[in-house]
């Protein structure tokens, strides 16, 4: 720790708790409490029950959870493939062209997601690119939104990569494709898994663009949470939100285990 004196260390911890508890921990704890409640007549929700979780893990909610998992998985894999390819291509460009590529891929981050959703809706609502009303337009919009994070993560990892490994492989006669497949990508694997986890988490929670695009038979879980809270079903919506958070954390934990193993290879 950078602070060495005991008093200053306690002060840092106090500031951290003062900022962390009300801004991050308390809202999540309130949602957790509401997910087990039946009414809210005082300061905190009350009336303990597990009925909200029974509703949040069956029927429409279970189907929405499956939709969110499939959408996030597909969008993450597509974003990882496109972002990695673009980052590798940008690394071989001259500086000014690399800056242009960076700006191009960072653009979806700078633009509000609702604008990205509208752009995708307008672009893919007419033949021959007619995706409106299908699940593919939701997956496409999520891919556009999260590819920027995959691109930035892989680009940052490429700048830290020691070129000596590639030069050694090339000096031994390895072809560029072989160097890429057996040297560069394995060295990038920790960053690739980290960016895949980030893309998955972002896609699982995406709502703004999804609200403009989702068809009735492909409703992701965030849309269901919004609909539940909008019609006043706060406690059921809180239980569904906790299910969404638990599913996301489980997948991120699995990705973290893969990343840890890749780091020690």
pLDDT digits (tens, 9 = 90+) for 154-181: 999 888 888 888 888 888 888 888 888 8
In the structure, how many helices (H) and strands (E) does the chain have?
Answer: 13, 2
Q: Which residues contact 185 (CB under 8 A, 6 or more apart)?
A: 192
Q: Are 135 and 218 in contact (CB under 8 A)?
A: yes
Burial tier of 247 (Cβ tally within 10 Å: 0-12, 13-18, 19+): middle
pLDDT tens string 65-98 = 999 999 999 999 999 999 999 999 998 888 888 8
pLDDT tens string 183-224 = 888 888 888 999 999 999 999 999 999 999 999 899 999 999
Identify the structural domains of the chain with CATH numbers, from first to last: 6-48 (no CATH), 52-257 (1.10.3720.10)
Percent of the chain at pLDDT > 70 equals: 97
């Amino acid at each position: 720790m950078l602070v060495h004196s005991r008093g200053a260390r306690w002060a840092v911890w106090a500031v951290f708790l003062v900022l962390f508890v009300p801004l991050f921990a308390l809202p999540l704890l309130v949602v957790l409490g509401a997910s087990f409640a039946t009414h809210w007549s005082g300061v905190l929700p009350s009336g303990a029950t597990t009925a909200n979780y029974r509703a949040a893990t069956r029927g429409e909610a279970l189907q929405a959870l499956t939709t969110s998992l499939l959408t996030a998985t597909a969008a993450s894999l597509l974003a990882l493939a496109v972002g990695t390819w673009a980052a590798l291509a940008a690394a071989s460009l001259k500086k000014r062209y690399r800056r242009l590529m960076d700006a191009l891929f960072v653009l979806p981050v700078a633009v509000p997601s609702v604008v990205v959703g509208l752009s995708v809706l307008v672009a893919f609502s007419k033949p021959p690119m007619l995706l409106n009303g299908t699940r593919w337009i939701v997956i496409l919009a999520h891919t556009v939104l999260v590819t920027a994070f995959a691109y930035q993560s892989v680009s940052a990892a490429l700048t830290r990569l020691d070129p000596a490994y590639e030069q050694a492989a090339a000096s031994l006669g390895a072809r560029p494709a072989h160097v890429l497949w057996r040297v560069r990508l394995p060295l990038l694997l920790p960053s690739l898994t980290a960016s895949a986890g980030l893309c998955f988490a972002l896609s699982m929670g995406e709502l703004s663009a999804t609200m403009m695009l989702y068809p009735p038979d492909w409703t992701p879980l965030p849309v269901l949470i919004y609909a539940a809270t909008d019609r006043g079903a706060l406690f059921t919506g809180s239980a569904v939100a906790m299910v969404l958070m638990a599913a996301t954390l489980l997948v991120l934990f699995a990705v973290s285990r893969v990343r840890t193993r890749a780091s020690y290879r």
